[in-house]
């Protein structure tokens, strides 16, 4: 059987599983549609949250980013896990006690204001739609690569699959399909990592393999890696990074995590307040299974790639282009891996031609520029091929990458549809809508969101990483501060919260658009995106915490000079602070 | 719901444990993983230094421990103050 048929079979089988579960778990009432009737236990909920959380960015992209830079990109590892501590300690138990379905509902009730609620709906839709565009684009690329179709065709296939299980199944369908997706993606990620770790270090656990001895050279793996990359003019893998931006970027990802509506909504679905705390812990354990493996995948893949290109070590001759391995040929057809024989010797010289200190060595060796361009995003997908693992592992990693992208897209779509049908239509525009009508509105909203995301995904507004950074920065700057203040302060009033959200949202948008283009249209940026232009050296992706700080400060000052919230709101805050009395969800 | 003073004591105890947990959260990630890494460079861990380990693995393990510690602590605190779910 050829690789194409095998990919098709494995990806097809995994999809049949998800769709089967969605149909089996078809939602009946609105309560089931939104929150699975709060019958999901913490371990299952943790697993589903993990699948929801780990998108194409975590699965496909992150290890490649770490491989390319080394220590400096540890920010992704800390940033995308540390937010769960904030969720468990500062938000999840209180929002579960509050006992409603959506984030804007909490903001509307706590700040006793339809305006605050509408601003929250706007923030939620902007955050979720930008995020889902990235996921649909990622899923489309993965489909097109493994099914060997056009990118646009891959995108429409992705849209159809998401539509079937998200629209028909609602939350319950999503919860159980996401448990299945988690299992597929974690198995797909771990198997190649285990084989590669065994090959390089003899240790079957990649987490430990990273800090073990490299069998071939009898040196610690990371020292060996530092040595080979510096031999080629790259910065050492374990070298120090830019502290200010590492600090702010990590903080942006952490606060952003705790402010993402599709993650927060997960904690509305557990039976008890105590379970909301446990759920965050379980989610992080399941996430950590991938995140502890990712740095090993990155480091080992970097070593394997250099070893492939310089079979006798970086001091010796590079491999002949005609003798390159098959995986390079495969990926060359996608355009994500490129070779250009600049010095005409028929060999692939891969080194850092931007390092001034290395130019002399390169000249002595007769090199006239780096000849190999590898896109970081292919690293995880190509990993089994680089390590020469069997064909079914290659098919499995395709299924895993798609599971990661699709499950996140589905969770985001649920957050968008409930904000529109519940917060906008049911509670604002048309309060007398029937339960059946509301369910229909939720499904139409979901289908509409899929359509918009797919159409925008055909011509994405920028690189996926920029789009995702905007979603995190916006969540950090708009949603997280008001949720936290709503619980921990009785003094913050409607005017303060509304002003805070607007200041956080607008300041972050303006900072990002200034450097990355207005509404992400290329070429419309006011200033060139280079460190010299950045305010106090803060990169656009790191701006989230500054927006959050402005949000906090505005809300505090405005609240202090205006009237305190009414007594019933202060009583509400008192009541969400204690677990007792948390019944099942109240509809209104 | 229990009386006002017990409820205030419960909330004060909660704020205290949250503060302690968040200090540890910040020290392992922003501290050991980023800002204090140069100070820890003398402590070797598997071919590199302790700061690198905290940035790539250590902080994640501490995050998990913190959440489970907090959940256990709060379950006990809920019962002691009579505010647990029956």
Contact list, A219 vs chain B (CB under 8 Å): 47
**Residue A185 φ/ψ, nearest 5 degrees:** -70, -35
pLDDT of A463 > 60? The answer is no
Q: What is the mean pLDDT of residues A497-507?
A: 94
Q: What is the mean pLDDT of residues A26-35?
A: 53
Whether B61 and B54 have beta carbons less than 8 Å apart is answered as: no
In a domain, A205, yes or no: yes
Å from A410 to nearest chain B CA? 26
Q: Residues 6 or more apart from A92 whose CB is under 8 A from it?
A: A264, A267, A276, A277, A279, A280
* Helix, strand, coil percent content, chain B, rounded in steps of 5: 80, 5, 15
A292 with B84: Cβ contact below 8 A: no
> Among A510, A488, A506, which Cα is nearest to A559's?
A488
pLDDT mean across residues, chain B: 88
Per-residue confidence (pLDDT) for residue A461, from 0 to 100? 52
Per-residue confidence (pLDDT) for residue A190, from 0 to 100? 92
Contact list, A281 vs chain B (CB under 8 Å): 64, 67-68, 71
Of A508-517, A528-537, B2-11, the one with minimum mean pLDDT is B2-11
pLDDT mean across residues, chain A: 83
A364 and A247 housed in the same domain? no
A85 with B57: Cβ contact below 8 A: no
A341 and A450 housed in the same domain? no
Query: Which site among B7, B15, B56 would you substitute to test the A interface, given the most A Cβ atoms closer than 10 Å to its Cβ?
Result: B56
In a domain, A573, yes or no: no
Q: What is the mean pLDDT of residues A204-231?
A: 88
Whether A178 and A48 have beta carbons less than 8 Å apart is answered as: yes
- Residue A401 banded pLDDT, cuts 50, 70, 90: confident
Whether residue B70 lies within 8 A of chain A, CB to CB, comes out as: yes
Q: Judged by CB atoms within 8 Å, which residues 12-31 of B form the interface with A?
A: 14, 18, 21-22, 25, 29-30
In a domain, A416, yes or no: yes
Per-residue confidence (pLDDT) for residue A26, from 0 to 100? 61
Q: What is the mean pLDDT of residues A280-301?
A: 93
Whether residue B85 lies within 8 A of chain A, CB to CB, comes out as: yes
- Residue A466 banded pLDDT, cuts 50, 70, 90: low
pLDDT tens, A47-103? Answer: 888 888 888 778 877 888 888 888 988 999 999 999 999 999 999 889 888 877 778
Å from A207 to nearest chain B CA? 8
- Residue A521 banded pLDDT, cuts 50, 70, 90: low
Whether residue B82 lies within 8 A of chain A, CB to CB, comes out as: yes
Per-residue confidence (pLDDT) for residue A587, from 0 to 100? 39
A255 and A365 housed in the same domain? no
A163 and A272 housed in the same domain? yes
Per-residue confidence (pLDDT) for residue A424, from 0 to 100? 81
A194 and A117 housed in the same domain? yes
Cα–Cα distances in angstroms (integers) from residue B46 to residues A238, A545, B54, B61, in the given order: 12, 34, 12, 17
A324 and A294 housed in the same domain? no
In a domain, A19, yes or no: yes
- Residue A459 banded pLDDT, cuts 50, 70, 90: low
| Domain containing residue A283 | 3-300+388-467
Q: Which of A26-40, A348-362, A507-521 has the highest mean pLDDT?
A: A348-362
Per-residue confidence (pLDDT) for residue B1, from 0 to 100? 44
A93 with B74: Cβ contact below 8 A: yes
pLDDT of A170 > 60? The answer is no
Whether residue B8 lies within 8 A of chain A, CB to CB, comes out as: no
B60 with A222: Cβ contact below 8 A: no
Per-residue confidence (pLDDT) for residue A503, from 0 to 100? 95
Comparing alpha-carbon positions, the chain A residue that sits nearest to B46 is: A211
What single string gives the DSSP state of each residue in A159-218?
HHHHHHHHHHHHHHHHHHHHHHHHHHHHHHHHHHHHHHHHHHHS-S-HHHHTTSEETTTT
Query: Which site among A66, A221, A298, A579 would you substitute to test the B interface, given the most B Cβ atoms closer than 10 Å to its Cβ?
Result: A579
Per-residue confidence (pLDDT) for residue A37, from 0 to 100? 45
In a domain, A423, yes or no: yes
CA triplet A522, A528, A533: central angle to 5 degrees? 150
Instruction: Give percent of chain A above pLDDT 70.
Output: 90
Nearest CB to B60 within list A77, A578, A580: A77
Per-residue confidence (pLDDT) for residue A14, from 0 to 100? 86
3-state secondary structure labels for all residues of A226-247 = HHHHHHCCCCCCCCCCCHHHHH
Contact list, A91 vs chain B (CB under 8 Å): none
Q: What is the mean pLDDT of residues A499-528?
A: 82
Q: Is A428 exposed, middle or buried (0-12, 13-18, 19+ CB in 10 A)?
A: middle
Comparing alpha-carbon positions, the chain B residue that sits nearest to A218 is: B47
B18 with A212: Cβ contact below 8 A: no
- Residue A487 banded pLDDT, cuts 50, 70, 90: very high
pLDDT of A179 > 90? The answer is no
Strand ranges, E, within B1-86:
44-45, 48-49
Strand ranges, E, within A14-55:
none
A133 and A180 housed in the same domain? yes
Q: What is the mean pLDDT of residues A371-400?
A: 82
pLDDT of A464 > 80? The answer is no
Per-residue confidence (pLDDT) for residue A237, from 0 to 100? 87
> Among A143, A188, A381, A392, which Cα is nearest to A290's?
A188
A155 and A232 housed in the same domain? yes
Q: What is the mean pLDDT of residues A197-221?
A: 88
Supply the angle between the helices A294-309 and A379-386 in degrees, to the nearest 10.
60
How many domains in chain A? Answer: 2
**ipTM surpassing 0.85, yes or no?**
yes
Å from A539 to nearest chain B CA? 17
Q: Domain ends where: A406, A434, A467? A: A467
Whether A394 and A3 have beta carbons less than 8 Å apart is answered as: yes
Q: Domain ends where: A341, A372, A403? A: A372
- Residue A586 banded pLDDT, cuts 50, 70, 90: very low
Cα dihedral A445→A450→A451→A452 (10° resolution): 90
**Alpha-carbon distance A219 to B1, whole Å?**
63
Q: Domain ends where: A467, A492, A518? A: A467
How far, rounded to the nearest angstrom, does the alpha carbon of residue B78 sit from its chain's CA centroid? Answer: 18
pLDDT of A498 > 70? The answer is yes
B46 with A288: Cβ contact below 8 A: no
Q: What is the mean pLDDT of residues B43-47?
A: 83
Q: Residues 6 or more apart from A448 whose CB is under 8 A from it?
A: none
Å from A82 to nearest chain B CA? 6
In a domain, A575, yes or no: no
B59 with A78: Cβ contact below 8 A: yes
Per-residue confidence (pLDDT) for residue A548, from 0 to 100? 95
Comparing alpha-carbon positions, the chain A residue that sits nearest to B71 is: A277
Number of A–B residue contacts, CB under 8 Å: 140
B34 with A247: Cβ contact below 8 A: yes
**Alpha-carbon distance A439 to A456, whole Å?**
26
Q: What is the mean pLDDT of residues A264-289?
A: 86
Contact list, B34 vs chain A (CB under 8 Å): 241, 243, 246-247, 250
Question: In this structure, what CATH number is given to the domain that contains residue A424?
Answer: 1.20.1730.10
Å from A536 to nearest chain B CA? 18
Comparing alpha-carbon positions, the chain B residue that sits nearest to A250 is: B30
A246 with B1: Cβ contact below 8 A: no
A329 and A243 housed in the same domain? no
A210 with B21: Cβ contact below 8 A: no
Per-residue confidence (pLDDT) for residue B2, from 0 to 100? 46
What does the block give as tokens for A308? 């492939």
Å from B83 to nearest chain A CA? 5
A238 with B49: Cβ contact below 8 A: yes
A90 with B10: Cβ contact below 8 A: no
What does the block give as tokens for A501? 């959200």
pLDDT of A174 > 90? The answer is no
In a domain, A507, yes or no: no
In a domain, A551, yes or no: no
Residue A422 is classified by DSSP as I
Per-residue confidence (pLDDT) for residue A585, from 0 to 100? 47
Whether A321 and A340 have beta carbons less than 8 Å apart is answered as: no
A221 and A323 housed in the same domain? no
Instruction: Using the structure block, give the residue that is written with the tokens 């972050």.
Output: A508
Nearest CB to B71 within list A241, A281, A582: A281
A196 and A345 housed in the same domain? no
Per-residue confidence (pLDDT) for residue A584, from 0 to 100? 52
A53 and A172 housed in the same domain? yes
Å from B61 to nearest chain A CA? 8
Of A250-264, A296-310, A400-414, B61-75, the one with minimum mean pLDDT is A400-414
Å from B35 to nearest chain A CA? 7
Whether A525 and A517 have beta carbons less than 8 Å apart is answered as: yes
CB neighbours of residue A537 within 10 Å: 13
Instruction: Using the structure block, give the residue that is written with the tokens 């699975």.
Output: A36
Per-residue confidence (pLDDT) for residue B19, from 0 to 100? 96
């Amino acid at each position: 059987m050829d690789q194409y048929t095998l990919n098709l079979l494995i990806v097809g089988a995994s999809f049949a599983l998800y769709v089967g579960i969605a149909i089996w778990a078809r939602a009946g009432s609105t309560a089931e549609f939104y929150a699975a009737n709060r019958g999901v236990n913490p371990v299952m909920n943790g697993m589903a949250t993990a699948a929801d959380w780990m998108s194409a960015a975590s699965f496909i992209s992150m290890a490649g980013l770490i491989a390319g830079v080394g220590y400096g990109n540890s920010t992704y590892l800390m940033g995308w896990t540390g937010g769960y501590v904030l969720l468990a300690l500062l938000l999840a138990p209180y929002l579960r006690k509050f006992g409603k379905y959506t984030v804007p509902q909490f903001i509307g009730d706590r700040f006793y204001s339809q305006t605050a609620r509408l601003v929250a709906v706007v923030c939620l839709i902007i955050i979720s739609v930008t995020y889902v565009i990235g996921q649909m684009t990622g899923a489309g690329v993965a489909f097109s690569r493994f099914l060997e179709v056009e990118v646009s065709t891959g995108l429409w296939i992705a849209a159809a699959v998401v539509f079937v299980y998200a629209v028909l199944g609602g939350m319950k369908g999503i919860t159980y399909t996401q448990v299945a997706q988690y299992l597929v993606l974690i198995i797909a990620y771990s198997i190649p990592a285990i084989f590669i770790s065994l090959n390089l270090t003899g240790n079957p656990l990649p987490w430990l393999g990273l800090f073990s001895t490299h069998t071939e050279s009898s040196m610690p793996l990371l020292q060996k890696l530092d040595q080979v990359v510096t031999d080629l003019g790259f910065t050492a893998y374990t070298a120090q990074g830019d502290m200010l931006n590492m600090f702010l970027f990590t903080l942006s990802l952490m606060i952003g995590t705790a402010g993402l509506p599709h993650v927060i909504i997960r904690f509305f679905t557990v039976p008890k307040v105590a379970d909301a705390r446990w759920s965050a812990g379980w989610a992080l354990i399941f996430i950590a299974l991938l995140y502890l493996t990712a740095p090993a995948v990155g480091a080992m893949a970097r070593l394997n790639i250099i070893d492939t290109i310089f079979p006798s070590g970086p001091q010796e001759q590079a491999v002949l282009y005609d003798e390159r391995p098959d995986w390079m040929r495969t990926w060359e057809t996608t355009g994500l891996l490129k070779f250009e024989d600049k010095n005409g010797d028929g060999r692939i010289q891969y080194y850092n031609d931007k390092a001034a200190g290395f130019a002399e060595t390169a000249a002595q060796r007769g090199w006239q520029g780096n000849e190999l361009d590898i896109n970081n995003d292919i690293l995880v997908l190509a990993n089994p091929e680089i390590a020469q693992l069997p064909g079914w592992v290659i098919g499995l990693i395709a299924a895993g990458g798609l599971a990661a992208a699709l499950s996140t897209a589905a969770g985001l779509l649920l957050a968008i549809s409930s904000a529109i049908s519940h917060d906008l239509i049911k509670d604002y525009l048309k309060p007398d809508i029937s339960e059946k009508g509301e369910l229909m509105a939720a499904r139409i909203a979901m289908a509409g969101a899929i359509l918009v995301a797919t159409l925008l995904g055909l011509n994405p507004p920028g690189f996926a990483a920029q789009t995702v950074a905007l979603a995190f920065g916006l969540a950090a700057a708009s949603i997280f501060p008001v949720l936290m203040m709503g619980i921990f302060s009785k003094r913050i009033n409607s005017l303060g919260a509304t002003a805070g959200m607007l200041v956080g949202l607008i300041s972050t948008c303006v900072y990002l658009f200034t450097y990355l283009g207005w509404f992400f249209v290329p070429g419309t940026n006011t200033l060139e995106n280079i460190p010299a232009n950045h305010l106090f050296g803060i990169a656009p992706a790191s701006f989230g915490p500054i927006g959050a700080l402005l949000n906090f400060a505005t809300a505090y000052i405005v609240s202090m000079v205006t009237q305190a919230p009414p007594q019933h709101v202060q009583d509400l805050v008192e009541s969400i602070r204690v677990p007792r009395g948390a019944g099942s969800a109240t509809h209104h | 719901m229990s009386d006002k003073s017990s409820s205030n004591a419960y909330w004060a105890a909660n704020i205290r444990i949250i503060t302690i947990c968040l200090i540890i959260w910040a020290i392992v990630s922003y501290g050991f993983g980023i800002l204090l890494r140069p100070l820890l460079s003398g402590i070797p861990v598997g071919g590199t230094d302790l700061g690198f380990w905290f940035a790539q693995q250590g902080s994640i393990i501490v995050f998990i421990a913190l959440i489970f510690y907090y959940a256990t602590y709060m379950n006990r605190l809920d019962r002691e103050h009579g505010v647990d779910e029956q």
